[in-house]
Structure 1
Amino acid sequence: MSLDASMALIDGPWEHRFVAANGARFHVAEQGEGPVVLLLHGFPQFWWAWRHQLAALAAAGYRACAMDLRGYGASDKPPRGYDTRTSATDVASVLRSLGGSRAVVVGHGWGGWIAWSMPTLQPTVTRAIASLSMPHPLVFRKASFTDPTQLRANAYLGGLQRPFVPERQMTVHGGYVQRLLREWASPEGIWPSPEEARTYAEAMALPFVAHSAAEYYRWVVRSQFRPDGWRFAATMRTPITVPVLQLHGEHDRVVLPSTAAEPGAPVAGPFERHLVSGAGHFLPEEAPEAVNAQLLDWLGRLPR
């Protein structure tokens, strides 16, 4: 079966729109009216991972916008631009194209990594951030070098460094993506359903998506030993003064709860961290009610 990006335009109560930003075209699913909350998905997913939060945020009086990151879903898939500085510029440019002046940025997994970077790299558009299943990049970086259990959990990162092989694995028969979804989810839960796993496998099989997804992780690993990575790490030591919410699943087997609980995040403003019981890595879908409750409570307490 031939797949094209239109498969990412899944019908629902949201509206699909395309915005020009940072030299590319980005797809955004949008629902509701009010203050903007921009949602950034993780790997190996696309905007649809936020479908439960779109509805809850819209009902609570927010304009919820879930974008496909560069290289994913129905967004453009250029050959370059998968470093975090470019990702932060993408997000800021999308916000400006949506008409948002300052917004709350919420990310999951790799999207959480980008969300953490926003107050430092794009402070003028960032009102507050929430990160699900991802501690501050410097905390994750330290654990990846010093904690043997987190290093073992990072084994997939090594596999993604190989040329061509991961792209082939991610696009042939959908087995790679479906296996990751099941291995990283809580063993006590029932997520993902066969239909959900198939949807993500098909989205990863879209032309150029697997390569783009791998490029994010190639940059994050290889840049640790290059000047661009050193500069990024130095910049990320800047204290974060906007409010921060961090949520983590107690059964996360890829970014370990012990890593998420490590101190060291340079947060100088209001900071909350909560452990979500019974959930693995994919919090927005494994524990939508708990995530929605925490998110809405936190949003409601943000300074106006």
Structure 2
Amino acid sequence: MPEIKVLDSTLYHEDQGEGVPFVFLHGNPASSRIWRAVLPGVAAPGRRLLAPDLIGMGRSGRPDVPYRFDDHARYLDAWFDALGLDEVVLVGHDWGGALAFDWAARHPGRTRGVAFLETFVRPLDSAELGDGPRARAELIRSAEGETLVLDKNILLETAFTGGVLHPLSEEERRPYLEPYPTRESRRPLLQWARSQPIDGDPADVVERISAYGKWLATTDEVPKLLLTFDSSPTLLITEAMAAWCAGNIAGLQTEHCGPAGHHAPEDSPHAIATAIATWATRQGL
């Protein structure tokens, strides 16, 4: 699959089909691999399906950058431009959803639609988090969090066992683990984990989310699809958050896809693919 030069590094991406570009953006600590069982169900004549590995993640390059939100956005911008992608349908999970919103808000004339799941639709207040998620966020931002993520590799060791309803086997998890054999290789994962927009911090991320929030609230002409799930304490989009989306995001359709954990493409890839494909066809995308 293609690996292309972007800025001072390279981005790897899956690429199949021809036509309207559907761009699938993954989150932390995943890679384009998380879409492997979703893509076949969205594939159709007239659609080009692309799924990049974010910079510093998966099979993409590892430049010497801090791996903050702005860094990921810059490299993604260069990737979109290098491929000449316009009239794009974006699909984002976790931080991939936030990056999709951010790109769409900054490139309104190039966005046809956005589908999203388990992502950040607005900044969070610690009071609305459960005790477990709040404690985990505080731990990750502490000095001990650096040891847990960089030395003990806790994010990758738990994401696909505890963040899903159906834990992946060691063999199934291996492709997710292999790109991060060293302490330094895991720094992008730590930075993402510390970037959750809670109580106004980190300020740069809250600013980006607030900016794309205005776009989400005012663009009736751009169809949007929220995929929701149930039965897991790890879900980011709860019933309350889904209700907030319904009242604050313009042009939104919500589709419930049944039981899944936060890393829902591993639990419910076929339901996700069917929902996206049906929505895209209905919207003429």
Tell whether the structures are fold-level matches, with TM greater than 0.5: yes
Distance in structure 1 (CA, Å) of the matches to 2:214 and 2:155: 37
> Structure 1 residues 66 and 207 mapped into 2: Cα distance closer, same or farther (>3 Å)?
farther
What is residue 253 of structure 2 aligned with on the other side? 272
Unpaired runs of 5+ residues, structure 1, are 1-15
State percent identity of aligned pairs: 23
> Amino acid of the residue matched to residue 280 of structure 1?
G
* 1:133 aligned residue (109, 118, 139): 118
Unpaired runs of 5+ residues, structure 2, are none
Moved more, 206-215 or 34-43: 206-215
* 1:294 aligned residue (253, 275, 283): 275
| SS of 1:69 mapped into structure 2 | coil
What is residue 40 of structure 1 aligned with on the other side? 25
Distance in structure 1 (CA, Å) of the matches to 2:238 and 2:198: 25
Deviation for aligned residue 1:47: 1.1
Deviation for aligned residue 1:287: 0.8
Deviation for aligned residue 1:41: 1.0
> Amino acid of the residue matched to residue 133 of structure 2?
A
Matched, 1:243 2:210: no
1:139-158 counterparts in 2 under 5 A? Answer: 141-142=123-124, 144-149=125-130, 152-158=132-138
Deviation for aligned residue 1:206: 5.6
What is residue 58 of structure 2 aligned with on the other side? 73
What is residue 3 of structure 1 aligned with on the other side? none
What is residue 233 of structure 2 aligned with on the other side? 253
Deviation for aligned residue 1:247: 0.9
Matched, 1:104 2:80: no
Moved more, 232-241 or 107-116: 232-241
Distance in structure 2 (CA, Å) of the matches to 1:70 and 1:148: 29
Deviation for aligned residue 1:225: 4.1
1:162-201 counterparts in 2 under 5 A? Answer: 162-163=142-143, 166=145, 168-170=147-149, 176-186=155-165, 190-201=166-177
Moved more, 22-31 or 170-179: 170-179
Deviation for aligned residue 1:43: 1.6
Q: Is the 8 A contact 1:174 1:205 kept in 2?
A: no
Distance in structure 1 (CA, Å) of the matches to 2:63 and 2:281: 38
* 1:203 aligned residue (164, 174, 179): 179
| SS of 1:37 mapped into structure 2 | strand
Distance in structure 2 (CA, Å) of the matches to 1:171 and 1:231: 27
Distance in structure 1 (CA, Å) of the matches to 2:164 and 2:81: 34
Deviation for aligned residue 1:69: 0.6
Give the count of matched residue pairs: 279
Q: TM-score, normalised by structure 1?
A: 0.79
Moved more, 217-226 or 234-243: 217-226
> Structure 1 residues 225 and 278 mapped into 2: Cα distance closer, same or farther (>3 Å)?
closer
| SS of 1:158 mapped into structure 2 | helix
> Structure 1 residues 173 and 225 mapped into 2: Cα distance closer, same or farther (>3 Å)?
closer
> Structure 1 residues 260 and 134 mapped into 2: Cα distance closer, same or farther (>3 Å)?
farther
> Amino acid of the residue matched to residue 193 of structure 2?
Y
Q: Is the 8 A contact 2:232 2:259 kept in 1?
A: no
> Amino acid of the residue matched to residue 192 of structure 1?
L
Q: Is the 8 A contact 1:115 1:130 kept in 2?
A: no
| SS of 1:263 mapped into structure 2 | helix
Deviation for aligned residue 1:66: 0.9
> Amino acid of the residue matched to residue 258 of structure 1?
E
Deviation for aligned residue 1:102: 2.5
The alignment yields a C-alpha RMSD, in angstroms, of: 2.8
Distance in structure 2 (CA, Å) of the matches to 1:162 and 1:296: 42
Q: 1:169-227: per-residue Cα shift (whole Å, max 9, x none)? A: 446676652323221212xxx34233222332333336743101111233445893465
Q: TM-score, normalised by structure 2?
A: 0.84
Matched, 1:116 2:95: no
> Structure 1 residues 89 and 299 mapped into 2: Cα distance closer, same or farther (>3 Å)?
farther
| SS of 1:185 mapped into structure 2 | coil
| SS of 1:281 mapped into structure 2 | coil
> Amino acid of the residue matched to residue 267 of structure 1?
I
| SS of 1:52 mapped into structure 2 | coil
What is residue 11 of structure 1 aligned with on the other side? none
Moved more, 221-230 or 58-67: 221-230
